Structure 1
Amino acid sequence: MRPDDEGFEITQQQGAWTVHMWWPVGPVSGGPQRITIEASEDAPARDVARGISTTVLRRLDLPGALELAKQAPQAQSTLEDAARMLTESAEAAGMLLENEGVSDRYLAMLSASYKHMADSGAAAPVSWLARAINRRPETIRDHLKKARRDGFLTTVTGKAGGELTEKAQSALDSFSPEGQNKQ
């Protein structure tokens, strides 16, 4: 692991090789972002000389490492914070929808909530948002399509998510005290 990286490792031993699997600090939603394989200190020289075989790679226990990573304190501490922030964001979008209808501010907040859900690797972000906002998933999908058409959220082909645009960020900034002073 590089010293400037914030994250944690799960280590496995595969024959003469030590395997380090690295995840960044935060909620774990998939496999490691980096895998390093190196000869173990006590590895026989003949095994090291042959190099890493495909057998070593096939024997990596990625599902086991993923389960351990999900239980790591570095994943858990921020998981609760992230879940709370996502819930608050979705609830704010729901309140905006109730108070303003499908406004720019609502579309920006919905887009931000959706982006963060997708970025965290959450399964079915539209369904989760629909429950949080108390609307049908079809309605939320329609609102996200409108957000894309109206320039709040970019499209990522074949994947959930996207990037917030300057228009979305400007609408979100209106929630902050600094943004309200600009108006």
Structure 2
Amino acid sequence: MGRTGETTTEAANGVRERESPGDGVEVGVFQGNWLVRMWWPEGAIAGGPQRLTVTAVEDAPPGEVRRGISSTVLRRLDIAGAVRRAQALAPQAPPWRIASERLEDLATRTGDVLAAEGVSDRYLARLCGLYDDLARRGVRAPVPWLAERIGRSPQTVRDHLKAARRDGLMTALTGKSGGELTDRARVLLASDPDFPGP
């Protein structure tokens, strides 16, 4: 946990935390003779870790290590607490900071298409492409971000996303932001020379 460019802290409660600017966020928790490392990619942290690694601590008794990881070690993990610590460690800048100029420009141009064409398939495909990109980056509230840049209310953008799903441009994820772009949406985006895609 000590590569160049990282910040590592170890609290008295046995929690190790790491933030590596281009590498995501890692939180480690000691459980008996085991160190459990939980990792999230760079961006907003909206759920559990994407990687979990369990290793024996250096001074663990060999007999304990030979017996391996017990289900008790895994059941005692405080995933919710680790998520909160990872959220506190995550950079405060928007998760799309590297692509922010590109996304801002695409969103503005998508608003221009709406103004020129109305709620067309081209506009809906662009909206879905942007929404999908923001949701994949872990943005918790992509609709208000899009609404501000497109020049419409959040409710209008939600209605447009519902229309896009109804028209077969994007699937729905129950209770979550995002969805998968359909083949139809991908074809529309690929044929739009002014939209390089997310």
What interval of TM-score do these two structures reach, taking the shorter chain for normalisation?
A: 0.7 to 0.9
Q: Which amino acid aligns with 2:77?
A: L
- Partners in 1 of 2:54 and 2:180 — Cα distance? 34
Residue 57 of structure 1 corresponds to: 77
TM-score when scaled to structure 2? 0.68
Partners of 1:59 and 1:132 lie apart in 2 by: 35
- Residue 133 (structure 1) aligned with residue 168 (structure 2): no
1:34 and 2:51 correspond? yes
How many residues were matched structurally?
168
Scaled by the length of structure 1, the TM-score of the pair is: 0.73
**In 2, are the aligned partners of 1:9 and 1:20 still within 8 Å (CA)?**
no
Aligned partners of 2:36 and 2:55 also within 8 Å: yes
Alignment of 1:64-79 (within 5 A): 64-68=85-89, 70-71=90-91, 79=96
Bigger CA drift: 128-137 or 148-157? 148-157
**Cross-structure match for 1:91:** 108
CA-based RMSD: 3.2
Take 1:47 and 1:144, find their aligned partners in 2: how far apart are those partners? 53
Q: Given the alignment of the two structures, is residue 155 of structure 1 paired with residue 188 of structure 2, yes or no?
A: no
Structure 2, unaligned runs of 5 or more = 1-21
Are residue 10 (structure 1) and residue 31 (structure 2) matched? no
State the identity %: 42
Q: Report the residue type matching 1:155 in the other structure.
A: A
Counterpart in 1 of 2:131?
114
Cα distance in structure 2, aligned partners of 1:81 and 1:93: 20
Shift of 1:39: 1.1
Question: Normalized per residue, which structure has more helix?
Answer: 1
**Alignment correspondent of 1:22:** 39
1:132-155 deviations in Å (ceiling 9; x for gaps): 111111211221121112221122
Are positions 1:166 and 2:187 aligned together?
A: no
SS in 1 for 2:170: coil
